[in-house]
Structure 1
Amino acid sequence: MEFANKEYLFLLLLVIPYLLWYLMYRKKSEPTMRVADTFAYRFAPKSWKVRLMPLQMLLRVVAFVMLVIVLARPQTQNSWKNKTVEGIDIMLAIDVSTSMLAEDLKPNRLEAAKQVAAEFISGRPDDNIGLTIFAGEAFTQCPMTTDHSSLLNLLQNVRTDIAARGLIQDGTAIGMGLASAVSRLKDSKAKSKVVILLTDGSNNMGDLSPMTSAEIAKSLGIRVYTIGVGTNKVAPYPMPVAGGVQYVNVPVEIDTRTLSDIAATTNADFYRATNTGELHEIYKEIDKLEKSKLSVTQFSKRYDAYQPFAAAAALALLLELLLRITVFRRIP
């Protein structure tokens, strides 16, 4: 801890003359009563009130010391700390097309994917993780970071209707989503570089084919784990109608062959998740990935830390005042 106004600490020297005055001259200034003979009081035991009388002086000293510390402005220290942790570089690529609103996974495919991805992120605190989202086009929602609190906030802000509201073009551009994630990993120095790509459809948009993106990932030493999410055959889909929502069964069309080829090309694995439980198990399996060393620099900012001392001073003053007007109250 550091003090912004160290000169105020010299006021603590005033405690010494106060203690000397209390010990040497305090009793002389207290009121007395003359009696003919003190023999009867010579061996009388002191009451607990008499024994606790110095407590008032102690509380005043504590309050004064705390107030001086508050004036000196105690602050936490700025610090830079370099450390080496075990981790890998990971980019999550998640499909946000309108078909991800299907409710074969609860509450729907995208919300289930976000929930499981959030648990995966929380379970790997030392990893450098980023997020790419894609539908008919792709963009980076969060670059790779070890600040997982910010990453989780950005993940939760991914809306299930982002494509339905026209914020990005609808469709499934798997090649573009994978290329966006790969571009974030191309300059990585980590020994292990991984993309986890999750989709519920087949590539029907974008200027780059999925296999071209897979070859680029392979050339950069990036492994791409692919996940096809959705039940078999048909899935319930909420269709907006006048005055509410009507559920219709839509066919599940996952290009498992392309997803499998992407994974095989990059020496990774392809998974199928037909329910939320299977999706959990898939992320647990990926969680067993090899780890490599990362160098992380942490910075902590300086903040004022006077609040505990101010509270202690106020408490000591209040307690001393209460004792003076109750337990140690004197009759003039």
Structure 2
Amino acid sequence: MNITVENPYALLLLLTVPILAIMMTSWRKGRIILSEKIVNKTIFDKISVRKSDRFGLRRAITLFAITFIIFAISNPQLPGAKQLVNKESSDIFIAFDISRSMLSQDIAPDRITKAKLFAVKLVESMRSERIGLIVFAGAAYVYMPLTNDYNAAIDFINGLSTEMASYQGTAIGDAIEVAEKAFTQEANRSKGLIIISDGEDHDSDAEKAAEKASQGGMVITTLGVGTERGGMIPDNSTGGANYKLDDQGNPIRSKLDASALKKIATKAQGSYYNIGDNTESLKGVLDMVSKLDKGEYQSIDTSNNFSLYPFFLWPAAILLMIELLMGMGLLITKKQTHEV
């Protein structure tokens, strides 16, 4: 039986149940000590209207009720019948630069981390589109095909690293060509490509590739990562805080090539933004996506899962009602005892 939990973090509240048990027991002991200081136990038993408060039982009932409520909040679910449904969306590929220059720290904490954070925000803002991921350095390849599984897309983005690149370079042209081949070939649907890169040392064929892709209906938006002043490229291969050196032994300064990225975007009816301005960049990308033609595709809908929370909520309500009646003395007749 494949049970999923809609709100798994709610189960952390179960850690409070034993704490509540200790607090209730401590409160009970304090009440007993206080009552014995005020009046003799024998006299208290004679004048007490309620001959027994069954504290141990009431405590157990309360804790069980709280436990059931926590399970209800977490909402365990059984898988419902899977249905094939038709949906409309644009197809968007995010091409991500994983070359070593993305380790430069001219923006905090470094270019690749900043780019990953922005890409996650981008995916979260495009939850009605199909999204795919392409990674490139000296070569490009599809890292994740088009999908509407946004949680998987975020996981893939978080896993990006410059260590994934077999060859160094910035093959933006290759990334554009890979995207062209990966898009579904439908005449009634335009395609969007978002390139996240520092643009440095890009291949000379990138502009030609962008122009060719544009003729096939692709719109390209480029997002620059870094600053034109640039920064050193960390190199930890020899240990210590070293930097990548040129042939003369001088530290290499990597700079954002905004001009190159602007030319690529212009060739494919797109725009250029620097992710240093998160708000403007996000707005620009979403504006591009909103203008793309929507296409229809089939998807398996599993949103009709069967929620099990009523099976926890009703027992909790019944237990709380029983505890309330016991607190009023309606279900208690036994002789008073100082049970803990």
Match of 1:80 in 2: 83
Task: Deviation per CA, 1:132-170: give whole Å up to 9, x if none.
Answer: 00011211111112221111111111124433xxxx222
Q: What amino acid is the match of 2:220?
A: V
Match of 2:287 in 1: 288
SS in 1 for 2:135: strand
Deviation at 1:323, TM superposition (A): 5.4
**Which sections of structure 2, spanning at least 5 residues, go unmatched?**
1-76, 245-250, 336-340
The two structures have a TM-score, normalised by structure 2, of: 0.61
Aligned counterparts of 2:189 and 2:314: Cα–Cα separation in 1: 52
Give the direction of change, closer, same or farther, for the CA distance of 1:246–1:324 in structure 2 (3 Å limit).
same
SS in 2 for 1:328: coil
Match of 2:330 in 1: 327
Give the direction of change, closer, same or farther, for the CA distance of 1:155–1:243 in structure 2 (3 Å limit).
closer
Give the direction of change, closer, same or farther, for the CA distance of 1:81–1:242 in structure 2 (3 Å limit).
closer
Paired residues of 2:196 and 2:225 also in contact (CA < 8 A): yes
Match of 1:93 in 2: 95
Name which of 176, 179, 196 aligns with 1:178: 176
Deviation at 1:331, TM superposition (A): 6.8
Deviation at 1:114, TM superposition (A): 1.2
Deviation at 1:313, TM superposition (A): 4.0
Aligned counterparts of 2:186 and 2:162: Cα–Cα separation in 1: 30
Match of 1:218 in 2: 214
Task: Deviation per CA, 1:200-230: give whole Å up to 9, x if none.
Answer: 21235xxx93244224312311122223432
Name which of 224, 230, 243 aligns with 2:226: 230
Task: Deviation per CA, 1:90-138: give whole Å up to 9, x if none.
Answer: 1111110111000112111111111112112211221222110001121
Give the direction of change, closer, same or farther, for the CA distance of 1:195–1:318 in structure 2 (3 Å limit).
closer
Match of 2:271 in 1: 269
Mapping for residues 11-160 of structure 1, pairs under 5 Å: 77-80=80-83, 82=85, 84-85=87-88, 87-160=89-162
The total of aligned residue pairs comes to 248
Aligned counterparts of 1:209 and 1:155: Cα–Cα separation in 2: 26
Match of 2:196 in 1: 198
Higher mean alpha-carbon deviation, 281-290 vs 112-121, is at 281-290
Aligned counterparts of 1:317 and 1:259: Cα–Cα separation in 2: 65
Paired residues of 1:132 and 1:177 also in contact (CA < 8 A): yes
Q: What amino acid is the match of 1:283?
A: L
Paired residues of 2:100 and 2:162 also in contact (CA < 8 A): yes
Paired residues of 2:231 and 2:255 also in contact (CA < 8 A): no
Mapping for residues 281-320 of structure 1, pairs under 5 Å: 281-289=280-288, 290-295=291-296, 297-300=299-302, 305-306=307-308, 308-309=310-311, 312-313=314-315, 316=318, 320=322
**Which sections of structure 1, spanning at least 5 residues, go unmatched?**
1-73
Q: What amino acid is the match of 2:155?
A: N
Aligned counterparts of 2:306 and 2:128: Cα–Cα separation in 1: 29
SS in 1 for 2:164: coil
The two structures have a TM-score, normalised by structure 1, of: 0.62
Paired residues of 2:223 and 2:272 also in contact (CA < 8 A): yes
SS in 1 for 2:301: strand
